[in-house]
């Protein structure tokens, strides 16, 4: 393949390109590097002599054919009918049938809309996952996201209530994992007591990318064949090739999820929180890592926070009604077996104080600090009044100590261990 042929292929598919030392340069589809001003950085060099591509930014080297596959560029203009269960482009995602295509731009009048009726929400798992809905579950590392996802999967396959509380509708489940691997997943199902005969189906470490036409087409075909009620993605960031901070990238991922939902499946995706000393964002949605589109698209957002053996569950977003009242889950057991049970509604005031107390103790690990610095560092967690009450309670329990400095300024530090405790 010569340089002219390469340019013709790139021009046909409107790929932004340039030239570098006589070779063709495009933005690398693997690292998607951008300049300081946000413009595409053309770091992938295509050598027309060797017909190989190399990125100077991420050091990725692939053949030109492999590059075309990643860019989803086909040398033949059409997709075979067996592959075309779904057609995806940068501007549209559609189920590829003649009937669908013929009706895409036929407007529906208001009378027909009203005649269809206003239906009650149909739950797959009560208050958590709607039938054909999209639920995002977020939390910090080790907050219990994967454990909750596995329990969700087991709940739907058995039809038993989640945590012994939330009614579920029985159906088939596909658990798509790029986060844990076979060994860890098997260990966690054993830890949770999920029996070997459980009918959850898995795709583990298959490098599936939902924003790839090839992968999405095959995944849609699988869902149509198996008729899954629920598909779980652990975790969201592992299933697309772009930057999670770009709204356009995440919007495309959400359209891909819509194609899967069109098969009758609900989607649950797990997302990580931003790395923060105390998870101190005032809005739970802003704690989720990446573009705001990640929390804008789902119908339901479930936020988890683990404090010792308790998982606090909140619903910062529910598109079709009022969010449920926050509740607690107790983790009971040991390293060989655990049970996660519903433990009633959450006392928000008490929880806020406990969260603030943990943050104060963690902060004072760095050494003695004046009150005003503590208040400033924890302002995203609690107001000055709550922090003051927590400091008083910690002094009473002798978890911390206080001394007075100049101008009656108070300094706080962790209580020194006794000589016996240090031995």
- Considering only residues 278 and 71, tell me which one the structure prediction assigns the higher pLDDT: 71
DSSP string, 211-234: TSHHHHHHHHHHHHHHT-SEEEEE
What is the average pLDDT value for the chain, to the nearest integer?
Answer: 84
Residues 6+ apart with CB under 8 A from 227: 172, 263, 264
How far apart are alpha carbons 294 and 254 in whole angstroms?
8
Residue 288: alpha-carbon gap to chain centroid:
8
Report the distance separating Cα 221 and Cα 219, nearest Å: 5
What is the tens place of the pLDDT at every residue in 341-350? 999 998 877 7
Reported as a single tens digit per residue, the pLDDT across 155-208 is: 999 999 999 999 999 999 999 999 999 999 999 999 999 999 999 999 999 999
Q: For 295-341, how does the pLDDT look when each residue is reduced to its tens digit (9 = 90+)?
A: 999 999 999 999 889 999 999 999 888 889 999 999 999 989 999 99
Confidence at residue 102, expressed as pLDDT on a 0 to 100 scale: 61
pTM, two decimals, is 0.66
* Domains contained in the chain, CATH given: 3-70 (no CATH), 123-346 (3.40.50.300), 351-422 (1.10.10.10)
Q: Is 50 exceeded by the pLDDT of residue 54? A: yes
The CA distance from 131 to 266, in Å, is 6
* pLDDT band at residue 228 using 50, 70 and 90 as cut-offs: very high
Whether residue 21 has pLDDT greater than 80: no
Question: Judging by beta carbons within 10 Å of its beta carbon (0-12, 13-18, 19+), is residue 314 exposed, middle or buried?
Answer: buried
């Amino acid at each position: 393949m010569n340089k002219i042929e390469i340019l013709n292929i790139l021009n046909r598919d409107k790929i932004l390109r340039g030239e570098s030392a006589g070779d063709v340069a495009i933005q690398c589809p693997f690292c998607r590097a951008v300049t300081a001003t946000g413009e595409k950085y053309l770091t992938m060099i295509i050598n027309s002599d060797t017909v190989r591509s190399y990125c100077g930014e991420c050091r990725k080297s692939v053949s030109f054919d492999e590059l075309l596959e990643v860019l989803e560029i086909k040398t033949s203009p059409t997709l075979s009918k067996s592959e075309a269960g779904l057609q995806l482009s940068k501007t549209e995602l559609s189920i590829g049938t003649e009937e669908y295509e013929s009706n895409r731009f036929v407007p529906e009048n208001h009378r027909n809309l009203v005649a269809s009726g206003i239906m009650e929400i149909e739950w797959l798992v009560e208050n958590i996952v709607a039938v054909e809905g999209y639920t995002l579950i977020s939390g910090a590392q080790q907050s219990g996201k994967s454990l909750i996802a596995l329990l969700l999967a087991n709940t739907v396959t058995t039809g038993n209530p989640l945590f012994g509380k939330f009614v579920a509708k029985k159906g088939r489940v596909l658990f798509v994992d790029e986060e844990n691997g076979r060994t860890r997943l098997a260990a966690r199902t054993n830890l949770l007591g999920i029996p070997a005969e459980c009918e959850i189906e898995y795709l583990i470490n298959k490098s599936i990318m939902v924003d790839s036409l090839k992968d999405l087409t095959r995944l849609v075909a699988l869902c149509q064949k198996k008729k899954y009620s629920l598909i779980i993605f652990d975790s969201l960031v592992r299933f697309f090739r772009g930057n999670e901070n770009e709204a356009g990238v995440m919007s495309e991922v959400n359209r891909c999820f819509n194609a899967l939902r069109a098969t009758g499946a609900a989607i649950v995706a797990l997302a990580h929180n931003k790395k923060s000393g105390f998870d101190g964002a005032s809005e739970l949605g802003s704690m989720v890592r990446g573009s705001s589109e990640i929390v804008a698209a789902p119908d339901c957002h479930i936020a988890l926070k683990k404090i010792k053996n308790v998982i606090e569950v909140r619903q910062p977003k529910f598109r079709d009604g009022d969010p449920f009242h926050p509740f607690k889950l107790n983790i009971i057991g040991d390293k060989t077996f655990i049970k996660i049970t519903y433990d009633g509604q959450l006392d928000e005031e008490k929880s806020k104080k406990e969260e603030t107390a943990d943050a104060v103790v963690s902060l004072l690990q760095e050494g003695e600090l004046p009150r005003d610095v503590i208040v400033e560092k924890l302002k995203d967690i609690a107001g000055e009044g709550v922090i003051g009450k927590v400091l008083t309670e910690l002094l009473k329990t002798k978890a911390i100590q206080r001394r007075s400095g100049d101008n009656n300024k108070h300094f706080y530090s962790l209580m020194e261990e006794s000589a016996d405790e240090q031995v």
